[in-house]
Amino acid sequence: MTDRAAARKQPAEMVFAEESAAEFPAVSPDSILDGDVHNIALFLDCDGTLLDIAPTPGEVRVPAGLVELLKRISDGLGGALALLTGRQLAEIDMLLTPIEFIGAGVHGAELRMYPGGSITRITNTLPAALIDDVMHHVQKLPGIIAEPKGPGIAVHYRLAPHLAPSLEAELRTLVARHADDLVLCPGRQLFEIIPAGHSKGTALETMLKLPDFAHRKPVMIGDDVGDIPALAAAFRLGGAGLRVTGEQFREGAEFGGPADVINWLQRLELLLRK
């Protein structure tokens, strides 16, 4: 198995078995710019893709000009730009104020179908008892940060990576009590408990049916396990999945980091003006 295949299969099998079974071949980002850029539907992860990872989620910084760049690209694509994030969309709105982009939050559990539109939660919130159990466990672990977010909860271990194995074991035990409804998704220095049956891949498929997105070639860019269903869906639906280097994708990713992605977006925006 190649490094690339291993990177896709190993953790993803635990969570997104069906979607991750799909292969998505390497595609040069430059080749997409050489094609018909006006016919793209663009799907972007946020943390680790547009925004550099910070020690804690609250410390991320939005690069100067990013919001305006995304808005111009959205306009240039006739509205066919969506953000697919593990965060709640309300958080992304605050980071990218004043624009409220089309997008999916909490790995497809929340959807906004048009710019500035309301956020629809398509799953239940997490059971209060489960949140209590997670918070209670985390209180005993210095450096572990739990972040409840409506339909899901993220537990970050970036500040205490040595605790990851025991943390994962405990979270798996808690999730097993809700095996029909919830899954544990590993990510970049975090674990997330999220609703089963929803993913960034299901969100991408839903959005590609919107009038502004339909009949376009989907291009998804992401850096983490939770992006794999959307990377695979973009390929399956006639487009491409492009990976960003990070803890999840190390060898052979198409982008070196968020600065690399933003440079590509700037080039795309120039081409869209033509």
Residues contributing to the site for Mg ion (CB under 5 A):
45, 47-48, 223-224
**Distance of alpha carbon 183 from alpha carbon 71, whole angstroms:** 34
Q: How many CB atoms lie within 10 A of CB 26?
A: 12
In the complex, what is the shortest distance from the CB of residue 47 to Mg ion, in angstroms, rounded to a whole number? 4
Task: Kindly tell me which of 62 and 272 has the beta carbon lying closer to Mg ion.
Answer: 62
Strands of the chain, DSSP E: 40-44, 81-84, 103-105, 110-112, 120-121, 145-149, 152-156, 182-187, 190-195, 217-222, 240-243
Nearest approach in angstroms of CB 188 to Mg ion is: 7
Burial of 164 (0-12, 13-18, 19+ CB in 10 A): middle
Please list, in sequence order, all residues whose beta carbon lies within 8 angstroms of the beta carbon of residue 149, skipping any fewer than 6 positions away.
87, 88, 91, 105, 106
Residue (137 or 156) nearer to Mg ion, CB: 156
- Closer by beta carbon to Mg ion, 168 or else 247: 247
C-beta of residue 70 within 8 angstroms of C-beta of residue 81: yes
Distance of closest approach, residue 129 Cβ to Mg ion, in angstroms: 29
Annotated catalytic residue, options 3, 30, 34, 45? 45
Q: Which is nearer to Mg ion, 48 or 229 (CB)?
A: 48
Q: How far apart are CA 37 and CA 271, in angstroms?
A: 7
Which of 173, 165, 170 is CA-nearest to residue 137? 170
Q: 181 or 260, CB closer to Mg ion?
A: 260
Tell me the β-bridge partners of 148: 153
First-residue to last-residue Cα distance in the chain: 42
* Among 157, 94, 154, 104, residue whose Cα is nearest residue 126: 154
CB of 48 to Mg ion, least distance (A): 4
Question: CB of 162: closest distance to Mg ion in angstroms?
Answer: 23
Q: Please say if 45 is a catalytic residue.
A: yes
Which residue of the chain is nearest Mg ion when measured via CB?
48
Query: Residues with catalytic annotation?
Result: 45
